[in-house]
């Protein structure tokens, strides 16, 4: 009996070793199969990766990791909605999967869905620069500018990302109307990278924004060299307009006019350039010339109150009282619209989490055609069946994708 038990014990040990060897071999084969898919995805061979995943799933139907790989393949193939649906059904097991899931939402401009997933991803990979940038973009899109500042600050502390961090800080500070701080951050960009080789935007765009902010602060002397460098890098209408404003502040009217004329050549519908040229012409007593500069903008939906008032003055100077009266009415309408828009902008900066700030944010998404994001944001707004007519009309428009209520009718107090 003792010999029999010993023999059976040996056989059991052998069987376990054999089974273990088989399972180990199967596991290695399974891992090699997944590694092959990863390699194909890294090389951009999406079709081959798709075939490999299908073969892997047939052989190992219980392997849940295959769903994440399929989602990554769908994302590479430009099918983010299907990729997101796979993650919604099966979840994400790794940091890489979480990042892919967030990117599927980002590609659909679903900022409010991507943000919490990116936050979780960054808890696992806190130094990932791409994830930080993407979360910052989500915060900016959703009007959470203070949170975006914190992310940009984190980027300045990452090796090789200091320049980008200060660039984003400057941009967000400009959005917050804190131009003094924006100028400081832009100055750090130029100090750290004098040749502007590590920017994520074209050098001329950065220089144009930097120079334009300096002009807005009345620092025209410093702005001139920055804006001239922007134009030398690549001529843009924005830089030419800002340089014209800087030169005008310095009393160099003829040079300012030359730059505004350049802006019109570069961008025929440049409102700021045409308005500036018309204003100078009217001041010099050339009413018809002023009208010639502004007439191409008369039918524009982007007309500013200052341009409308200028047209009113021009027609008065030309003796056309009927048209002057029309533009007087239009000026009043545009001023009211601008007052509402300014109040709306200030509300989103000063009280971004307030009830009306959330409504406005959703409205802006709907206005740009992003109905899904607008609807998602409105689902998060608790208004206890608000009786405000504006909100009711807006909710109906979201359901039908119909005409939005005019923003001018929003019942917020101007301050």
Q: Compute CA distances 62 → 56, 57, 59, 65, 93, whole Å.
A: 10, 8, 9, 9, 15
pLDDT at 223 over 80: yes
Angle of CA points 167, 170, 176, to nearest 5°: 145
For the residues 57-74, what does the mean pLDDT come to? 68
Band (187; pLDDT cuts 50, 70, 90): very high
Asked if residue 367 has pLDDT above 70, the reply is: yes
pLDDT mean over 119-129: 95
Is residue 171 within 8 Å of 201, Cβ to Cβ? no
Which residue intervals of 198-296 are DSSP H helices?
203-216, 220-233, 237-249, 253-266, 271-283, 287-294
**Mean pLDDT, residues 364-375 taken together:** 92
pLDDT-above-90 percentage for the chain: 65
Q: What is the pLDDT of residues 243-302, one digit of tens each?
A: 999 999 999 999 999 999 999 999 999 999 999 999 999 999 999 999 999 999 998 988
| Contact (CB, 8 A) for 12 and 38 | no
This prediction's pTM: 0.81
| Cβ atoms of 279 and 312 closer than 8 Å | no
* pLDDT tops 50 at residue 13: no
Helix (H, G, I), strand (E, B) or coil at 141: helix
pLDDT band at 24 (very low <50, low <70, confident <90, very high): very low
Q: In the numeric block, which tokens belong to residue 281?
A: 């012409």
Say if residues 339 and 414 touch (Cβ distance below 8 Å).
yes
* Confidence at residue 247, expressed as pLDDT on a 0 to 100 scale: 97
């Amino acid at each position: 009996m003792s010999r029999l038990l010993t023999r059976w014990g040996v056989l059991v040990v052998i069987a376990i070793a054999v089974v273990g060897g088989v399972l180990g071999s199967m596991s290695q084969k399974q891992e090699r199969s997944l590694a092959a898919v990863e390699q194909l995805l890294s090389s951009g061979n999406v079709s081959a990766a798709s075939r490999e995943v299908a073969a892997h799933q047939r052989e190992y139907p219980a392997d849940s990791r295959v769903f994440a790989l399929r989602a990554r393949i769908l994302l590479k193939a430009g099918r983010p909605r299907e990729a997101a649906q796979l993650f919604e059904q099966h979840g994400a097991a790794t940091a890489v999967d979480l990042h892919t899931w967030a990117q599927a939402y980002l590609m659909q401009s679903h900022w409010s869905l991507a943000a919490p997933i990116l936050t979780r991803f960054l808890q696992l990979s806190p130094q990932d620069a791409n994830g930080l940038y993407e979360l910052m973009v989500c915060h900016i899109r959703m009007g959470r500018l203070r949170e975006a500042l914190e992310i940009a600050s984190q980027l300045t502390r990452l090796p090789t990302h200091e320049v980008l961090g200060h660039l984003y800080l400057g941009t967000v500070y400009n959005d917050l109307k804190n131009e003094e701080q924006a100028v400081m951050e832009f100055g750090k960009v130029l100090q750290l990278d004098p040749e502007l080789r590590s920017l994520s935007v074209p050098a001329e765009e950065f220089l144009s924004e930097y120079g334009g902010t300096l002009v807005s602060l009345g620092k025209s002397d410093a702005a001139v060299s920055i804006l001239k460098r922007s134009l030398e890098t690549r001529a843009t209408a924005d830089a030419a307009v800002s340089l014209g404003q800087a030169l005008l502040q310095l009393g160099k009217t003829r040079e300012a006019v030359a730059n505004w004329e350049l802006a019109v050549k570069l961008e025929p519908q440049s409102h700021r350039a045409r308005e500036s040229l018309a204003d100078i012409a009217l001041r010099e007593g050339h009413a018809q010339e002023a009208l010639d500069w502004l007439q191409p903008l008369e039918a524009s939906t982007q007309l500013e109150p200052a341009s409308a008032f200028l047209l009113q003055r021009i027609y008065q100077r030309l003796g056309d009282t009927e048209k002057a009266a029309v533009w007087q009415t239009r000026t009043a309408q545009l001023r009211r619209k601008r007052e509402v828009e300014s109040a709306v902008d200030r509300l989103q900066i000063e009280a971004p989490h307030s009830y009306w700030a959330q409504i406005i944010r959703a409205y802006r998404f709907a206005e740009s055609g992003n109905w899904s994001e607008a609807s998602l944001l409105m689902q998060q707004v608790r208004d206890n069946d608000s009786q405000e007519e504006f909100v009711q009309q807006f909710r109906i428009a979201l359901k039908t994708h119909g005409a939005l209520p005019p923003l001018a009718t929003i019942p917020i107090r101007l301050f």
